[in-house]
């Protein structure tokens, strides 16, 4: 008797095996939505522009089961569709050839809620007075149908109508705001290619203030009662921006940088394209969150503009943003990066040494050891090749891969051009071994 081998379902990223879709590439999302805060009701239409990568008759989009679909059109025709297990399944009457243009229109609605994941709840979340989206790593599907994995970058137009007392913040430039019958419609345009998890929606009783007029525009969006403490706690953001532009290269977005502070406490800050989101607890009047402020700003270069193709390469986000914290400290009168490296090396030495930085596994991809060992790897590289080469490398990295996706080999390959000897021993010890190398004996 012969047994038929069960076919394994192909996945785009084994860290999130149910996210992402095959057969097409999205170039643009246009969202036309209305949200009622009091009843947590979202409704509207997503228009998705895509190109087929192969002959295509059936395909899927990621979409939360909390949202129901009432209508789908593809290139004006009405295909069959159904939703199941977090996917919108679409079957065309006739297959489209490879390279064909697709315009997908999805009308949908429901009461959005976070996606439950290995790392906790992510995505659309109600606040006491408003809502936020914390998309990392696969929360975009909690509020719009999409191809939800980081390598699938696209441009966005986001139109949201909400009750007029509320301010709506989304990514990109605010191109229109109009009031009608107690509702305000906000329209944002984001031309830069952006991963779906970095697209956000922030709704609250917020005021908006400009906090930097020179260089890159920086705005704050927050409740009025937090403004005094915010102005102290976040006062050094313009200096951070100036330093990071010097060290990392041009700020990657034309429309500037926005910091949102919610009226609720948040366990951790969140990054989005052109936006960082903090909680009221990060305005403590003591600059207690300054390390985090630097970290989130650095993500605009490392993670948001230059984005890992797969989540196994997350050290390229978090190790770099963590090292930016040390660089800010070093350049603002605090501890040097060397002192922070020694400090966290001692902590890592007392932690379990069962993690491979270049592939930590889904359970550990947000582990603090990824952040700190990633930063230490960069510090050891900086020691080895010298400041001039190290910061030239970082600027080359952010320029060469601006608004693109990368893997670890892209960075190690580029770094080889900034060193006369081989860096392979360094990478072998820090990226591909579980054991923590000796800090002062590193190559």
List per-residue pLDDT tens for the chain, 443 residues long: 445 455 567 899 999 999 999 999 999 999 999 999 999 999 999 999 999 999 999 999 999 999 999 999 999 999 999 999 999 999 999 999 999 999 999 999 999 999 999 999 999 999 999 999 999 999 999 999 999 999 999 999 999 999 999 999 999 999 999 999 999 999 999 999 999 999 999 999 999 999 987 789 999 999 999 999 999 999 999 999 999 999 999 999 999 999 999 999 999 999 999 999 999 999 999 999 999 999 999 999 999 999 999 999 999 999 999 999 999 999 999 999 999 999 999 999 999 999 999 999 999 999 999 999 999 999 999 999 999 999 999 999 999 999 999 999 999 999 999 999 999 999 999 999 999 999 985 55
Q: Is 125 a catalytic residue?
A: no
**According to CATH, where is 1.10.390.10 located in the chain?**
308-430
Quick one: pLDDT at residue 2? Answer: 47
**Which segments within 213-266 are labelled E, that is strand?**
218-222, 257-261
Whole-number Å distance between alpha carbons of 155 and 173: 12
Q: In what order do the strands lie in the sheet with 87-96?
A: 56-62, 87-96, 80-84
Q: Is 282 annotated as a binding residue?
A: no
Q: Is 379 annotated as a binding residue?
A: no
DSSP 112: -
Per annotation, catalytic residue among 125, 192, 290, 296: 296
Quick one: pLDDT at residue 441? Answer: 58
Quick one: pLDDT at residue 267? Answer: 95
Quick one: pLDDT at residue 7? Answer: 55
18, 273, 293 from 194: Cα distances, Å: 20, 7, 22
Whole-number Å distance between alpha carbons of 136 and 122: 7
Question: How is domain 308-430 classified at the CATH fold level?
Answer: Neutral Protease; domain 2 (1.10.390)
Name the strand (E) or helix (H) holding 347.
Answer: helix 337-349
Q: Is 225 annotated as a binding residue?
A: no
Per annotation, catalytic residue among 15, 24, 166, 371: 371
- Following DSSP, what letter does each residue of 397-443 receive, concatenated? HHHHTTTEEE-HHHHHHHHGGG-SS--HHHHHHHTS-SSPPPSTT--
Match domain 24-115+139-192 to its CATH number in 3.30.70.270, 2.30.40.10, 3.40.50.720, 2.60.40.1730.
Answer: 2.60.40.1730
**According to CATH, where is 2.60.40.1730 located in the chain?**
24-115+139-192
Q: Measuring CA to CA, which residue among 20, 66, 65, 25 is closest to residue 48? A: 25
Match domain 207-300 to its CATH number in 3.20.20.140, 3.40.50.2020, 2.102.10.10, 3.30.2010.30.
Answer: 3.30.2010.30
Whole-number Å distance between alpha carbons of 113 and 267: 18
Name the strand (E) or helix (H) holding 251.
Answer: none
45, 108, 251 from 70: Cα distances, Å: 10, 6, 41
């Amino acid at each position: 008797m012969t047994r038929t081998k069960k076919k394994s379902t192909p996945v785009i990223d084994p860290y999130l095996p149910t996210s992402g879709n095959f057969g097409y590439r999205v170039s643009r999302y246009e969202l036309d939505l209305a949200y009622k805060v009091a009843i947590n009701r979202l409704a509207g239409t997503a228009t998705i522009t895509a190109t087929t990568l192969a002959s295509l008759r059936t395909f899927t989009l990621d979409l939360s089961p909390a949202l129901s679909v009432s209508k789908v059109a593809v290139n004006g025709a009405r295909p069959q569709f159904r939703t199941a297990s977090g996917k919108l399944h679409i079957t065309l009457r006739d297959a489209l050839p490879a390279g064909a243009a697709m315009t997908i229109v999805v009308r949908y609605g429901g009461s959005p809620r976070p996606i439950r994941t290995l790392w906790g709840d992510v995505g659309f979340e109600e606040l006491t007075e408003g809502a936020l989206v914390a998309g990392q790593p696969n929360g975009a599907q909690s509020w719009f149908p999409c191809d939800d994995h980081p390598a699938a970058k696209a441009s966005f137009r986001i139109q949201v109508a909400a009750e007029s007392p509320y301010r709506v913040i989304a990514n990109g430039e605010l191109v229109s705001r109009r009031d009608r019958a107690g509702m305000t419609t906000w329209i944002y345009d984001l031309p830069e290619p952006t991963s779906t998890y970095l697209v956000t929606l922030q709704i609250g009783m917020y005021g908006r203030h400009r906090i930097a007029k020179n260089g890159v525009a920086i705005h704050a969006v927050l409740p009025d009662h937090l403004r005094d403490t915010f102005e102290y706690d976040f006062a050094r953001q313009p200096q951070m921006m100036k330093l990071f532009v010097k060290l990392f290269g041009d700020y990657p977005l034309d429309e500037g940088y926005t910091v949102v502070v919610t009226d609720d406490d948040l366990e951790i800050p969140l990054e989005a394209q052109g936006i960082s989101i903090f909680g009221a607890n990060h305005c403590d009047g003591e600059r207690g969150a300054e390390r985090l402020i630097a970290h989130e700003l650095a993500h605009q270069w490392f993670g948001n503009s230059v984005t890992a193709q797969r989540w196994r390469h997350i050290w390229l986000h978090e190790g770099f943003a963590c090292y930016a914290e040390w660089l800010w400290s070093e350049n603002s009168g605090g501890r040097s990066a060397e002192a922070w490296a020694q400090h966290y090396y001692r902590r890592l030495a007392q932690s379990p040494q069962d993690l491979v930085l270049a592939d930590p596994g889904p359970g550990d991809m947000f582990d603090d050891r990824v952040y700190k060992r990633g930063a230490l790897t960069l510090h050891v590289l900086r020691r080895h090749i010298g400041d001039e080469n190290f910061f030239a490398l970082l600027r080359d990295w952010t320029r060469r891969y601006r608004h693109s996706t990368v893997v670890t080999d892209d960075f190690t390959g580029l770094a080889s051009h900034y060193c006369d000897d081989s860096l392979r021993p360094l990478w072998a010890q820090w990226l591909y071994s579980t054991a923590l190398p000796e800090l002062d004996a590193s190559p």
